[in-house]
């Protein structure tokens, strides 16, 4: 645990502005030169219910939420004390304070809104504070906000108090408020911010803050971005101008961002009747010659299974994004899990061909969104971008230059009319859309409205002209060609270097992971090596076609491998084993499936328990150890 | 744009251009009503002046879905019930295409019922032809949503307890701006109605009564039929929603009593199509989106120049 970082947690009720306040605060920290990372925790409720967001800030790179936190801003849940008393369940009123204490670090700071929360209702509060050396500041944030503006502005008062207590200058916060707020509410907010700041500084002589904001500097412009933002911008830069969808948490974020931006770019977004339609629309638009996408989360993606197969059989390029949440069925709508991996790999009937990519960080989300489109169109194959609620929603800073790339609206092997007029695309006066023998399996296509490119796309097996065929020879030729694409894509991806490695190359042990757990694992690897262990990690990004060679080399190079994933059944480990075909004796699993992502300490403790002590019991954590085969 | 030069080409179009030169000959049973739809389309398309290469025909699954194989246009033989969402998107991506969707009653009113209602509601500019033979043909004779109450089949051995669906009323109520019914036994009317439907700017739904002599032997061959627009017995204003609704209800009930009423039941020339609506509110580009991918001079926007400042 490092002291040179601030992990600020703001807690209150859903709908009380926790998300926007924390986003602004994170941006202010980023602007002051720090690296930031946010973590959202919220219930599946619109109003009320306990929610919090953490903002971690450090001069060093930050890639995970960290362990615990050191500054709590506990605001009340306005819904819990709503006049509609009956809507209150349990003791929600004290939740913003009581629910958060377990993870607060020793020496941490608590600011709570005494206008709304009563610390005396919390059992042993004072004893606990004393034991843990917590510094407690009861402030009437609500009263202050009400007197100077409106009660909802108590978030602003809380931020002012935070700045005063951590030694952070107000200027970045003020700049942001000027950018983001309409004139009418700007003035009172600025006044509340400053008043809270001054009051705290006067009342509590805070020359040496209990927890201070570190100082840092960026050498280039940084952007605060979520995985959902990055996926959307990647799609836009790759020329995607058509999206169709149906809302489902957490995929809705990408759908919303795209919908808000596409019309400005002359693109089209369609909210349709269901997910079957959504995926079918993306297929139809792509068939007509535009770059198109759709997406959903678990249950909605299940409905897309048939259009997905249609895209495979008709070799229509399309990108589907799948934002995982805890399942099965409706599961836990706002909680992350990685357990749709097998669903996405294997859904839809037949010997199917698709690509599945799983970015590990916000930067990678942009990158791989672009790669997903490029592969889909170059190879005429549906490509799925698999991520989860954590990566979709977390905000982190990425250098602006990362996005400074050329657009790529290229449709891949789509023939011009001049090319269509030439042999060998035609035989018997017909366009051969699905030729048997072509390099890399990709047979050039035409789009409706082009002269000389008329063909039939069908979900039935078909001959080179596109007509339904059950000829055995043709069947074999078509399946072999479609499958051949995957080899070509694997070779293509090897040039992209999509995986992420951390730790010393000659390490004794390895950790394998995928998707959103990558950053957390990398942080844990750093700590393990500092603590004298010899560990490296590999965050795998390509789920299909799988980078078998690379993973094999990694496993081969170490004595034992711990596979870290947010599933109960070890789906990723199963995929590794399936592709490697052996090494079962070298792979054990560390699993977490309680609705929360891993914290670095859980990986550190899990590794020590599993590998060093060998019993796998990482006490105090809700993680599960599954030993290697033969153990 | 030269890349889509098949679109808008003005020339004499021969019916035979729509006939696939090689295989396959239709696998439809002798006497199947589906032949009539094929014939009507082959007559209507040249009449409207649409070439095979600017026409996109999207079908569902079923005997009816095979239409694509026998009509040589750009085609998309999709999956069961999903011809409409595929067709809709193609039309949005390239509004200059002539988009036609087709499928059976099971396909369109059963598994694809949700899409049917919503496509009508949105009033996409396309033609939707439903081969209504009151039976599942391809899967060998099961009861369909339009089979009459009491209809017996292997999957409904006691006779269906369900009232048949009322497709004309459904699409009118959902928002279709052109609703007609025609029958395989009347090729002239079929051709005229399909021609009109293609020319109509909006969602044109044609319920096409086709016979399935193989699995629906009891079914009436839809003769004698009456064209309500020609008959003095049926006075109504087809541009008036309420009168149209009333007429449809009569028609849909009469069908199962053995009286086959066909014709145009609702025609609304004023309702803007979905594409027009979307353009009007700035949700769709003026030029077909698909063209842009071929325009070498188009400056593709980058997120870097457009959206990133709000994250800084
Ligand atoms: C998802 C799915 N369910 C079922 C089927 C099997 N199936 C194929 S055609 C058909 C019925 C077609 O009936 P209809 O639409 O009335 O067309 P017809 O064959 O009578 O022209 C069914 C159930 C399928 N292909 N896909
Ligand atoms: S089964 Fe019926 S619908 Fe199908 S081809 Fe034969 S007659 Fe036509």
Strand order in the sheet with A240-245: A268-271, A240-245, A291-296, A318-324, A382-388, A355-357, A542-544
Q: Using 50, 70 and 90 to split pLDDT, how confident is the model at A89?
A: very low
Count Cβ atoms below 10 Å from residue A170 Cβ, excluding itself: 18
B160-199 pLDDT, tens digit per residue, is 999 999 999 999 999 999 999 999 999 999 999 999 999 9
What is the per-residue pLDDT for A611?
87
A336-384 pLDDT, tens digit per residue, is 999 999 999 999 999 988 999 999 999 999 999 999 999 999 999 999 9
Tokens standing for residue B236: 């109504």
A85 has pLDDT over 50: no
Question: Which of B65, B107, B151 should be mutated for ligand 1, with most atoms under 8 A from CB?
Answer: B107
| Within a domain: B8 | no
Peptide bond preceding A424 in cis form (omega within 30 of 0): yes
Of all protein residues, the one whose alpha carbon is nearest to atom 8 of ligand 2 is B32
B37 has pLDDT over 90: yes
* Distance of alpha carbon A201 from alpha carbon B199, whole angstroms: 75
Which region among A207-211, A406-410, B52-56, B142-146 has the lowest average model confidence (pLDDT)?
A: A207-211
Peptide bond preceding B224 in cis form (omega within 30 of 0): yes
Side-chain-side CA neighbours of residue A299 (13 Å) = 14
A571-612 pLDDT, tens digit per residue, is 999 999 999 998 889 999 999 999 999 999 999 999 999 988
Q: Is the CB of B28 under 6 A from ligand 2?
A: yes
Cβ contact, residue pair A223, B93, below 8 Å: no
A81 has pLDDT over 90: no
Q: Is the CB of B63 under 6 A from ligand 1?
A: yes
Average pLDDT over residues B73-99: 98
Q: A224-403: what fold?
A: Rossmann fold (3.40.50)
Q: Where are the domains of chain A?
A: 5-203, 224-403, 417-495, 500-626
R_g of chain A computed on alpha carbons: 27
Q: Is the CB of B136 under 6 A from ligand 1?
A: yes
* Distance of alpha carbon A416 from alpha carbon A21, whole angstroms: 51
DSSP A424-486: TSEETTEE-TT-S--GGG---B--TT-TT---EEESS-B-TTS-B---HHHHHHHHHHHHHHH
pLDDT, greater one: A207 or A71: A71
What part of A 283-342 touches B (C-beta under 8 Å)?
Answer: 283-285, 287-292, 306-307, 309-310, 314
| Within a domain: B2 | no
* Distance of alpha carbon B189 from alpha carbon B192, whole angstroms: 5
| Within a domain: B217 | yes
Which region among A31-35, A211-215, A424-428, A457-461 has the lowest average model confidence (pLDDT)?
A: A424-428
* Distance of alpha carbon B43 from alpha carbon A544, whole angstroms: 48
Q: Based on the structure, what is the number of domains in chain B?
A: 1
What is the per-residue pLDDT for A15?
76
- Residue B1 CB-density burial (10 A; 0-12 exposed, 13-18 middle, 19+ buried): middle
Q: Looking at beta carbons, which residues of chain B come within 8 Å of A474? A: none
CATH class belonging to A500-626: alpha beta
The answer to whether A71 and A7 are in contact (CB under 8 A) is yes
Closest-CA residue of chain B to A448: B74
* Distance of alpha carbon B121 from alpha carbon A103, whole angstroms: 53
Query: Percentage helix, strand, coil, to 5, in chain A?
Result: 40, 20, 35
Cβ contact, residue pair B20, A467, below 8 Å: yes
Q: What is the mean pLDDT of chain A?
A: 93
CATH of the domain at B108: 3.40.50.970
| Within a domain: B6 | no
Q: Determine the structural domain holding residue B97 and report its residue range.
A: 15-310
CATH of the domain spanning A5-203: 3.40.920.10
DSSP A71-120: EEEE---TTTTSS-GGG--TTGGGHHHHTTGGGEEEEEEEEEETTT--GG
* Distance of alpha carbon A191 from alpha carbon A201, whole angstroms: 15
Peptide bond preceding A545 in cis form (omega within 30 of 0): yes
Measured from the alpha carbon of residue B82, the closest ligand is 1
Within an 8 Å CB–CB cutoff, is residue A400 touching chain B?
Answer: yes
Residue bearing tokens 């009323």: B169
Average pLDDT over residues A138-147: 93
What is the per-residue pLDDT for A83?
47
Average pLDDT over residues A563-572: 98
């Amino acid at each position: 645990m490092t002291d040179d970082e601030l992990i600020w947690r703001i807690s209150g009720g859903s709908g009380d502005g926790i998300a926007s306040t924390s986003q602004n605060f994170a941006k202010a920290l980023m602007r002051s030169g720090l690296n930031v990372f946010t973590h959202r925790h919220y219930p599946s409720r619109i109003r009320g219910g306990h929610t919090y967001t953490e903002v971690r800030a450090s001069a060093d790179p930050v890639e995970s939420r960290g362990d615990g936190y050191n500054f709590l801003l506990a605001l009340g849940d306005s819904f819990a004390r709503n006049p509609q008393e009956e809507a209150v369940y349990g003791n929600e009123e004290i939740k913003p304070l009581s629910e958060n204490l377990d993870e607060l670090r020793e020496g941490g700071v608590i600011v709570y809104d005494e206008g709304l929360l009563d610390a005396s209702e919390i059992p042993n509060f004072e004893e606990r504070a004393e034991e843990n050396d917590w510094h407690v500041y009861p402030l009437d944030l609500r009263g202050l906000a009400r007197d100077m503006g409106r009660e909802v502005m108590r978030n602003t008062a809380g931020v002012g108090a935070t700045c005063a207590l951590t030694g952070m200058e107000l200027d970045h916060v003020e700049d942001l408020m000027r950018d983001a707020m309409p004139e009418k509410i700007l003035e009172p907010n600025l006044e509340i911010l400053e008043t809270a700041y001054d009051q705290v500084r006067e009342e509590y002589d805070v020359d040496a803050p209990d927890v201070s904001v570190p100082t840092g500097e960026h050498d280039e412009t940084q952007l605060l971005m979520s995985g959902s933002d990055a996926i959307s911008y990647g799609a836009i830069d790759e020329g995607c101008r058509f999206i169709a969808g149906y809302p489902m948490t957490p995929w809705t974020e990408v759908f919303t961002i795209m919908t808000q931006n596409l019309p400005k770019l002359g693109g089209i977004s369609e909210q349709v009747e269901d997910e079957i339609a959504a995926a079918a629309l993306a297929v139809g638009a792509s068939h007509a010659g535009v770059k198109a996408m759709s997406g959903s989360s678990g249950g909605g993606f299940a409905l897309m299974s048939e259009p997905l197969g249609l895209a495979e059989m008709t070799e229509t390029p399309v990108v589907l994004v799948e934002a995982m949440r805890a399942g099965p069925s409706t599961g836990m709508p706002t909680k992350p899990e990685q357990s749709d991996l097998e669903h996405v790999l294997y859904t839809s009937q037949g010997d199917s061909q698709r690509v599945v990519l799983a970015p590990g960080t916000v930067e990678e989300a942009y990158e791989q969104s672009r790669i997903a489109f490029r592969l889909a169109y170059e190879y005429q194959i549906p490509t799925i971008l698999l991520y989860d609620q954590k990566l979709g929603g977390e905000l982190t800073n990425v250098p602006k230059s990362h996005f400074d790339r050329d657009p790529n609206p290229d449709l891949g092997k789509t023939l011009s009319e001049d090319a269509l007029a030439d042999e060998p695309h035609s035989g018997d006066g017909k366009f051969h859309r699905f030729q048997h023998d072509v390099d890399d399996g990709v047979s050039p296509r035409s789009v409706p409205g082009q002269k000389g490119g008329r063909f039939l796309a069908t979900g039935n097996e078909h001959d080179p002209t596109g007509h339904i065929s059950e000829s055995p020879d043709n069947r074999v030729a078509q399946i072999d060609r479609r499958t051949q694409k995957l080899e070509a894509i694997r070779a293509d991806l090897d040039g992209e270097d999509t995986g992420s490695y951390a730790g010393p190359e000659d390490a004794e042990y390895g950790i394998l992971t995928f998707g959103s757990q990558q950053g957390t694992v990398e942080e844990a690897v750093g700590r393990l090596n500092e603590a004298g262990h010899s560990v490296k990690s590999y965050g795998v990004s390509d789920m299909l076609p799988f980078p078998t060679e690379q993973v094999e080399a990694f496993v081969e190079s170490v004595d034992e491998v711990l596979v870290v994933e947010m599933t109960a059944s070890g789906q990723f480990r199963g995929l590794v084993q399936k592709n490697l075909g052996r090494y079962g004796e070298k792979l054990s699993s560390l699993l977490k499936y309680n609705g929360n992502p891993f914290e670095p300490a859980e990986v550190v403790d899990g590794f020590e328990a599993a590998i060093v002590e060998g019993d796998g019991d990482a006490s105090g954590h809700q993680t599960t150890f599954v030993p290697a085969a033969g153990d | 744009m030269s890349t889509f030069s098949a679109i808008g080409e003005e020339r004499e179009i021969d019916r035979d251009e729509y006939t696939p030169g090689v295989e396959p000959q239709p696998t439809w049973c002798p006497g199947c009503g589906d032949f009539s739809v094929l014939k009507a389309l082959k007559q209507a398309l040249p009449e409207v002046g649409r070439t095979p290469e600017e026409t996109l025909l999207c079908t569902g699954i079923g005997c009816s879905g095979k239409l694509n194989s026998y009509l040589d246009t750009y085609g998309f033989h999709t999956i069961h019930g999903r011809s409409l969402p595929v067709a809709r998107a193609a039309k949005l991506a390239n509004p200059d295409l002539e988009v036609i969707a087709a499928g059976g009653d099971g396909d369109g009113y059963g598994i694809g019922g949700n899409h049917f209602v919503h496509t009508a509601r949105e009033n996409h500019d396309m033609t939707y032809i439903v081969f209504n033979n009151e039976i599942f043909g391809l899967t060998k004779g099961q009861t369909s949503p339009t089979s009459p109450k009491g209809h017996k089949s292997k999957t409904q051995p006691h006779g269906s307890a369900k009232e048949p669906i009322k497709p004309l009323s459904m699409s009118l109520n959902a928002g279709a701006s052109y609703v007609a019914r025609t029958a395989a036994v009347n090729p002239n009317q079929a051709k005229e109605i399909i021609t009109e439907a293609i020319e109509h700017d909006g969602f044109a739904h044609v319920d096409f009564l086709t016979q399935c002599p193989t699995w629906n032997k009891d079914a009436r061959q839809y003769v004698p039929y009456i064209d309500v627009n020609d008959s003095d017995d049926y006075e109504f204003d087809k541009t008036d929603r309420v009168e149209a609704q009333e007429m449809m209800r009569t028609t849909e009930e009469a069908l199962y009593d053995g009286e086959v009423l066909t014709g145009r039941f609702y025609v609304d020339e004023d309702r803007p199509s979905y594409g027009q609506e979307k353009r009007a509110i700035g949700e769709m580009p003026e030029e077909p989106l698909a063209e842009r991918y071929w325009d070498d001079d188009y400056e593709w926007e980058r997120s870097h120049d457009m959206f990133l400042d709000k994250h800084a």
